[in-house]
Structure 1
Amino acid sequence: MGIGIVRYEKEGIHWGVLDGGQIYPVQASEETLAAFLAADGKQRAEEAREHAQPFSQLEVTLLSPVTLPGQIVCQGANYSAHREEGGLDAKRPPFNMIFTKAPSSVTGPEHDIESPKSIELLDYEIELGLVFHKALTGPVADGEAALKHYVAGFVIGNDVSSRDLQFTENQWFKGKSLRTFCPVGPVLYLIDPEEAPLVHDLELTLKVNGEVRQQANTSQLLYKPEETLVELSGMMDFQPGDLLLTGTPGGVALKLQADEMNALLNPFEKLDKKVKMLNESQKDNPNYLKEGDVITCEIRTADGKIDLGRQENTVRFV
């Protein structure tokens, strides 16, 4: 059986095992996730769960278990419902949409999301994240084997997005990469190889101020993690500690008609016209994030065997 690790702050920064609201401290001095995994972190975590003296998680500040340096690679429009609400064809598209976020966008599962006041269309996107524990430096043909061999485990990610920047400037990287725009954690669940298939049966739930906005199962992913690993291995490298976000389900604030999306994606359309069109289409939409909104994200199997914890972030405009 796998194990859920956390990184926390309590008179320094430490690693631990989170189980039933209790943290079992791990004897580990590694500063990065990559170093922790390389130094038999999973085995030491298992030993801590058996022998360490636990304490309440309420006594500490939980941090992102994914640390710098590391890259964040993302899949876009990978659930039918999300495609449809964005004005796209709900069917599986002919290609896997891939983009990146700046590693400096990572923040903790309990930290504030800080957005510039100039952003008016701030959106949320819960996603299942896959974390690598071995370097993937060449093409692989067997996605199922790659998932078991290269992926350390699962984590919650929130791909916070400025729709203003993303669609008026057509800059996905810029619109999704501001500092604090990627809350991660609290739990990195380190899987055993036989648990890898559970990647297809995880329940995602995102709430804003207690209201359910997104709810889906990873069985609905259009491009599955295994085939994505095969595709990406043919074009790029991954290193231990890197993060792959697999896409967000329906329920985000953004709502567009097909003609609006087509116009926004047109690189030849004038900027002022795009700004006017986007603002007009979203002006009566109450679901964009506001000052003080609290976003909670949870991912788990229905039986609770895998539980990635509860991520809770408050929105601040600065």
Structure 2
Amino acid sequence: MGLQIVRFEKENVERWGVLKEDKIFVLQDTYSSLAQFLDEGKEEARKLYKQENGEKVSLNEVTFLSPVTAPARIVCQGANYSSHRAESGLEAKKPPFNLIFGKADSSLCGANTEIIRPANVQLLDYEIELGLIIGSEITGPVEITEDNLYQFVAGLVIFNDISARDVQLCQGQWLKGKSYRTFGPTGPYFYLLDQDEISSIYDLDIKLWVNEELRQSANTNQLLFKPLETINELSEIMNLSKGDLIVTGTTGGVAMNLAAEEMSKVSSLTTPYEEKVNIMLESQLKLNNYLKDGDVIRCSIKSADGTIDLGEQVNKVVPSKVTVS
């Protein structure tokens, strides 16, 4: 059985621990990064889980921190569920290529951190995604199979790819529109996979609520480009390090809903910027689904039988007092 690992803060001190029932058993060694934990802390966590000795704290005594630590690459897959492709004005079928983009690691924040809406952003959106934690260094093309995938995927996290649609699409700035600080709630648990659990990646229920209204609900068996395929492709392009994060895309139910013609105009390099803004605001603000100040987002990812549970995120949207274009 895998372990639920947490990184947390108590009395202004950052620590790592392993969750068992409603208690966190605190690891005695301190780890400066997720990569260091993967190198040096896994065995300590397994022993602590079995022995149940030493310091322990309750969940309500701590502040959860992102288990993914900077510096880290955040590699994102876009439009990787048919339902999300359809609502984005794209063909629902699997496309001829895997859409890959990046997100700044300064967007990482905890599972209960407030999400700060930039003052210039009117179209703030949510995207629940399954996050894969890289467990082995990749410095060149590798042949990854179902038999050795466990060597490259150390574990799983919930990731909410918060997105400023009016920046992402109107400006054509995916990195910018998705990288504002607090736009990457992660955790609360890093589920450290056992080798025999690796196939569970393909059968996890993902759900997101806004103000307790269920907006997104799917299963990872609906992913178009699967983790095995994606990591193989990425290995041919770029280096990946232990502790890096691959987020596998979101399902249907986001706030954004564009017709094919609208998406074509907004994504075209020849459409003037002001026209893109008008298209987005006129078509999207009337939907009334975009995040507003005070909204509360709740996310969960787990297996149907509950053996794999990545915990629950609860994040509130608050306004920024700083204007950034």
Could you say whether these structures have the same fold, taking a TM-score greater than 0.5 normalized by the shorter chain as the test? yes
- Given that 1:146 and 1:229 are in contact with CA atoms closer than 8 Å, whether structure 2 keeps it comes out as no
2:173 to 159, 171, 182: 171
**Aligned positions of 1:129-168 closer than 5 A:** 129-168=131-170
* TM-score in terms of structure 1 length: 0.98
How much does 1:29 deviate? Answer: 1.0
Secondary structure at 2:133 match in 1: strand
Distance between the aligned counterparts of 2:120 and 2:22, measured in 1?
Answer: 38
* Residue aligning to 2:10: 10
**Which residue identity is paired with 2:132?**
L
* Residue aligning to 2:45: 45
- Of the structure 1 ranges 15-24 and 182-191, higher mean CA displacement relative to structure 2 is found in 15-24
* Residue aligning to 2:23: 22
- Of the structure 1 ranges 182-191 and 279-288, higher mean CA displacement relative to structure 2 is found in 279-288
Secondary structure at 1:227 match in 2: helix
* Residue aligning to 1:242: 244
**Which residue identity is paired with 1:152?**
A
Corresponding position: 1:192 with 2:227: no
How much does 1:133 deviate? Answer: 2.1
What is the number of residues matched between the two proteins? 317
Distance between the aligned counterparts of 2:148 and 2:84, measured in 1?
Answer: 27
2:218 to 194, 204, 216: 216
Distance between the aligned counterparts of 1:155 and 1:283, measured in 2?
Answer: 31
- Which whole-Å deviations, capped at 9, do the CAs of 1:78-99 have from their partners, x for residues lacking one? 0000000111000000100000
- Which whole-Å deviations, capped at 9, do the CAs of 1:117-168 have from their partners, x for residues lacking one? 2100000000000001221111122342452111110000000000000110
Secondary structure at 1:277 match in 2: helix
Secondary structure at 1:228 match in 2: helix
* Residue aligning to 1:261: 263
**Which residue identity is paired with 2:303?**
T
RMSD: 1.0
Q: Which ranges of 4 or more aligned residues in structure 1 deviate by more than 4 Å?
A: none
How much does 1:51 deviate? Answer: 2.4
1:91 to 76, 90, 93: 93
**Which residue identity is paired with 2:43?**
Q
Distance between the aligned counterparts of 2:216 and 2:173, measured in 1?
Answer: 24
**Which residue identity is paired with 1:8?**
F
Distance between the aligned counterparts of 1:2 and 1:116, measured in 2?
Answer: 38
Structure 1 unaligned blocks of 5 or more: none
* Residue aligning to 2:65: 63
- Given that 1:87 and 1:261 are in contact with CA atoms closer than 8 Å, whether structure 2 keeps it comes out as yes
* TM-score in terms of structure 2 length: 0.96
Secondary structure at 1:75 match in 2: strand
* Residue aligning to 1:121: 123
- Which whole-Å deviations, capped at 9, do the CAs of 1:3-39 have from their partners, x for residues lacking one? 1100010130000112323211111211111111111
- Given that 2:108 and 2:184 are in contact with CA atoms closer than 8 Å, whether structure 1 keeps it comes out as yes
Question: Taking every aligned residue pair, what percent have the same amino acid on both sides?
Answer: 52
* Residue aligning to 1:301: 303
1:286 to 276, 285, 288: 288
Distance between the aligned counterparts of 1:145 and 1:76, measured in 2?
Answer: 26
Distance between the aligned counterparts of 2:311 and 2:296, measured in 1?
Answer: 16
Secondary structure at 1:179 match in 2: coil
- Which whole-Å deviations, capped at 9, do the CAs of 1:157-206 have from their partners, x for residues lacking one? 00000000011001111000001100000000010111111000000000
* Residue aligning to 1:204: 206
Secondary structure at 2:72 match in 1: coil
1:180 to 179, 182, 195: 182
- Given that 2:6 and 2:190 are in contact with CA atoms closer than 8 Å, whether structure 1 keeps it comes out as yes
How much does 1:48 deviate? Answer: 1.6
Secondary structure at 2:166 match in 1: helix
How much does 1:317 deviate? Answer: 1.1
Distance between the aligned counterparts of 2:221 and 2:47, measured in 1?
Answer: 33
- Which whole-Å deviations, capped at 9, do the CAs of 1:17-73 have from their partners, x for residues lacking one? 12323211111211111111111x121111222223533100111111000111100
1:143–1:165 Cα change, 3 Å: farther
- Given that 2:123 and 2:285 are in contact with CA atoms closer than 8 Å, whether structure 1 keeps it comes out as no
Distance between the aligned counterparts of 2:177 and 2:219, measured in 1?
Answer: 26
